[in-house]
Amino acid sequence: MALRQRPFAHLNGGASRIFPFLFWMRSVNRSTINADLMAAFTGAMIMIPQGVAFATIAGMPPEYGLYAGMIPAIVAALFGSSWHLVSGPTTAASILIFSSIGIMAEAGTASYVTLVLTLTFMVGVIELVMGLARLGSLINFISHTVAIGFTAGAAILIAASQARDFLGLEIPRGSKFYDVALIIFRQFDQISPAATSVGLITIISGLLLRKYLPKSPYMIVAMLFSALVAFALDHFGVAKVPTIGAINSGLPPLSSPDFSLDVFKELAPTAFAVALFALTEAVSIARSIASKTGQQIDGSQEFIGQGLSNIVGGFFSGYVATGSFNRSALNFSSGAKTPMAAAVGGVILLAMTPFVAPFAEYLPKATVAGILFLVISGLIDGKHIRQILTSSKSETTVMLATFFAVLFINLEVAIFTGVILSLVFYLNRTSHPKVSTLAPDSNDPRRRFSADPNLSECPQVKIIRIDGSLFFGAVSNVVAKLRQFERNQPMQKNLVVVTSGINFIDMEGAEALANEARRRRNVGGHLCLIGIKEAVSLVLKRTGFDRAIGADNIFESKTAALSTVYSFIDQDICATCPKHIFQECGSEPADIPRSNEVPTSAVLVPEMPAPSRKIEKKPDPVVHMGPSAGRKNPARILALIEHDDGDDGARETMAEAQRLAEEVGAELAFGQIVNWNWGSGNVMPEGFLSEEMETALCAPARQHLKGIAADLGISNPAVMATATPNHSQAAVKLIAEWCPDLIVIHERSNFEFARQTKHDFETPFGQIHTRIKLAG
């Protein structure tokens, strides 16, 4: 359900962060109340066996598991951001607490409980501070792979901790899993058949109910059924199965953490590890469910909600609470509509506990162990483990390192190990951008660049593509690749870099490009950049390294870049080269198919070759407009679009240009002239339209053209845009950039030259004399 947020438009961002429940409480109505109450009752019922079981894992008295699902759950629902997240004790948090605090005090003792409540308070403070500092994005550093390795290891530890009650053996609490296995082997003949039978009945009945009656409270039914079996065994004198005994049936008692500085210092590393993992668990579950509802989760607000719930829990006898996946999933599938379901679930649990608690005296420990085995059956994610093992060595290393650290060291070290290893592998990947060698594909009518290693390269020009960030950590690896290319092919003094795969560059990366440009010039070559992104271009301009590279060596299109590079290469070598890599190498394209229909476009035909530093006189290429025409085909086509053409005009012009390009196998680009004016009757101050302003104006235009191109089925088109109050100057700028043989404009365009039969364009590369023909 999408919560209605319009009634709260008057509330500012501060109010939403302090009192987020104000945004959903006014969306509550009769239908949502009914759905939320049903989900709340179901959640409270399932919390009873789980609370007792999780408290047992954590080494706490059983009632503390129920306390953790009361007040903390209410606070987390009111101050969090998720509509369906249910907070409380969880398996992973419980085992993490027991493994950390169990070495400081004996489980179940008063000193142990005090340490756990102090840890809960500290975890809450850390979570709250992180939320207020808007550090929600930090949770992304605990990868899904770390979580999988952690939970798989935790499942084994839980199983080992419950073997004592499940098998009826005397196993010291806190024993390592391998010690537990050794004790079971040595005491195999002392296993209690009655306790084991009760535990197995719990597991089998629970699995059958979960399979055939998935919507039933299978844990409660399995717990009651096995408790009845244990009661019958005792009543008829067959065997007595130990029970957990009576638990406190009152409301959560007030408690006080230990505020001594020494305790804080001792618990600080554990508190940070528990807080980090608890937040990961909560936000991951919230996002998982939100992906089904369309809700946008605010990670930082969720931090605040979790932090407040644990701070309050520390004073109301609740140990560390975080998001519970099975209770949250149950809440969602039960039809909950608002966070009221989770909050009311805590209230119902408060009301039910005094009536249900006395019956815990008849609850066998083996039943609780069986319930926990049901819980951990879903912790080992076999499907994702297989995917990781078969798909990535680095992810496999992270998962296994986390898994074995859980088993052989401790859980907080395991979390930090997984996070650090993940960051190490990530930094290693980002510091090695992919550098691919490209060459024009002669089998492609448009001669697009390809990374096919079987394609021939120009002996004098090296074309590469860089995919990845070019920052200080990656510069040395990229430069090493370039030096390797030089050693392998020393004749390739000219370097063309396709930079469209570079999303980020820092000052060191920009300096590396500038140094490469100087190096190429020193050996008689050149560096050209193609398809540079706006963010990268801004860094080059702000650092001044664009001047070292040369503005005339930075191109939007590969055609313009190759035309420039071609003017630099040694023509004597070209004369004896049989490869003909580029269209400029002397290859003659086929004749253009003739067409009588050019419905709504005007065609401008330059009568000189693509501009370069050396302009040679060649026959004038002109367009075919009728069946009797017999002229040369264009190699490059530019569809020139202005704002007044509108979407329909732009679409017609682009479609016509695409048709012509496909017919003759020509390169195609789209150029947009952004409609920008200083003001009616005013003169724009010189230099007012800065490069940064022009970049900001042109970016949406490029994206718009790409969208139209995608609708027309044109993939990865070359798009250009420029902003200037003078349309003619803008047109000249785009024409000089693309160097087209054929220009297509719409018949309704407002260019000054649109109604002329001839026009001369003065460009930085020389004069282009064009013929203008209106069709349609």
Question: Angle at which helices 261-293 and 144-167 pack, to 10 degrees?
Answer: 110
Beta-bridge partner residues of 682 = none
Rounded to whole angstroms, the Cα distance separating 145 from 402 reads 9
The stretch 694-715 carries a mean pLDDT of: 74
The answer on pLDDT for 674 being more than 80 is: no
Contact 130, 307 (CB under 8 A): yes
- For residue 623 the two structure tokens come to 């367009």
Contact 514, 483 (CB under 8 A): no
Sheet holding 758-763: strands in order across?
718-723, 667-674, 636-642, 742-746, 601-606, 766-774, 758-763
Percent of the chain with pLDDT over 90: 27
The answer on pLDDT for 716 being more than 90 is: no
The stretch 334-361 carries a mean pLDDT of: 86
The stretch 237-265 carries a mean pLDDT of: 85
**Amino acid at position 552, single letter:** D
Give me the helices (H) in 460-582, please: 472-488, 507-522, 534-543, 545-549, 558-566, 571-576
Q: How far is CA 698 from CA 534, 541, 652, in A?
A: 10, 17, 21
The stretch 32-51 carries a mean pLDDT of: 83
Q: What is the pLDDT of residues 256-315, one digit of tens each?
A: 899 999 999 999 989 998 888 888 778 877 776 776 677 777 888 889 999 999 999 999
Most confident among 36-40, 147-151, 252-256, 478-482 (mean pLDDT)? 478-482
**Amino acid at position 652, single letter:** E
Rounded to whole angstroms, the Cα distance separating 552 from 564 reads 9
Rounded to whole angstroms, the Cα distance separating 326 from 378 reads 10
Q: What is the pLDDT of residues 171-189, one digit of tens each?
A: 887 678 888 899 999 989 9
Q: Sorting pLDDT into bands at 50, 70 and 90, what band is 727?
A: low
DSSP 317-378: T----EE-HHHHHHHHHTT--STHHHHHHHHHHHHHHHHHGGGGGG-BHHHHHHHHHHHHTT
What is residue 723's predicted lDDT score, i.e. its pLDDT? 64
Contact 345, 43 (CB under 8 A): yes
Please indicate whether residue 142 or residue 229 has the higher confidence score (pLDDT).
229
Please indicate whether residue 403 or residue 652 has the higher confidence score (pLDDT).
403
The answer on pLDDT for 72 being more than 50 is: yes
Please indicate whether residue 343 or residue 683 has the higher confidence score (pLDDT).
343
Say which range, 269-283, 529-543, 656-670, 708-722, has the weakest mean pLDDT.
708-722
Rounded to whole angstroms, the Cα distance separating 61 from 755 reads 90
Rounded to whole angstroms, the Cα distance separating 111 from 189 reads 36
What is residue 592's predicted lDDT score, i.e. its pLDDT? 33
Query: Helix or strand or coil: residue 449?
Result: strand
Pairing of strands 636-642, 667-674: parallel
The answer on pLDDT for 694 being more than 70 is: no
Pairing of strands 434-440, 461-467: antiparallel
Rounded to whole angstroms, the Cα distance separating 164 from 370 reads 12
Residues 6+ apart with CB under 8 A from 714: 654, 658, 668
Beta-bridge partner residues of 637 = 668, 742
**Amino acid at position 711, single letter:** D
Rounded to whole angstroms, the Cα distance separating 84 from 32 reads 13
Q: How far apart are the first and last CA of the chain?
A: 53
Q: What is the pLDDT of residues 540-557, one digit of tens each?
A: 999 999 988 988 889 887
What is residue 145's predicted lDDT score, i.e. its pLDDT? 86
What is residue 440's predicted lDDT score, i.e. its pLDDT? 85
Say which range, 125-139, 279-293, 599-613, 747-761, has the weakest mean pLDDT.
599-613
What is residue 583's predicted lDDT score, i.e. its pLDDT? 67
Contact 249, 353 (CB under 8 A): yes
What is residue 591's predicted lDDT score, i.e. its pLDDT? 36
Sheet holding 554-555: strands in order across?
449-450, 434-440, 461-467, 494-498, 527-530, 554-555
DSSP H or E run through 100: helix 91-101
Q: What is the pLDDT of residues 454-463, one digit of tens each?
A: 888 888 999 9
The answer on pLDDT for 216 being more than 90 is: no
Contact 101, 86 (CB under 8 A): no
The answer on pLDDT for 150 being more than 70 is: yes
Long-range contact set of residues 545-548: C-beta below 8 Å, sequence gap at least 24: 545/510, 545/511, 545/513, 545/514, 548/514, 548/517, 548/518
Contact 61, 360 (CB under 8 A): no
SS3 content of the chain, % helix, strand, coil (to 5): 55, 10, 35
Q: Sorting pLDDT into bands at 50, 70 and 90, what band is 434?
A: very high
DSSP 716-753: S-EEEEEE-S-HHHHHHHHHHHH--SEEEEETT---TT
The answer on pLDDT for 2 being more than 60 is: no
What is residue 121's predicted lDDT score, i.e. its pLDDT? 96
What is residue 693's predicted lDDT score, i.e. its pLDDT? 58
The answer on pLDDT for 596 being more than 80 is: no
What is residue 9's predicted lDDT score, i.e. its pLDDT? 39
Helices (H) and strands (E) in the chain, counts: 28, 15
Q: How far is CA 714 from CA 597, 719, 742, in A?
A: 21, 12, 19
Residues 6+ apart with CB under 8 A from 420: none
The answer on pLDDT for 711 being more than 90 is: no
Rounded (5°) CA angle 76-79-82 = 75
Residues 6+ apart with CB under 8 A from 204: none
Contact 357, 63 (CB under 8 A): yes
Rounded to whole angstroms, the Cα distance separating 323 from 302 reads 10
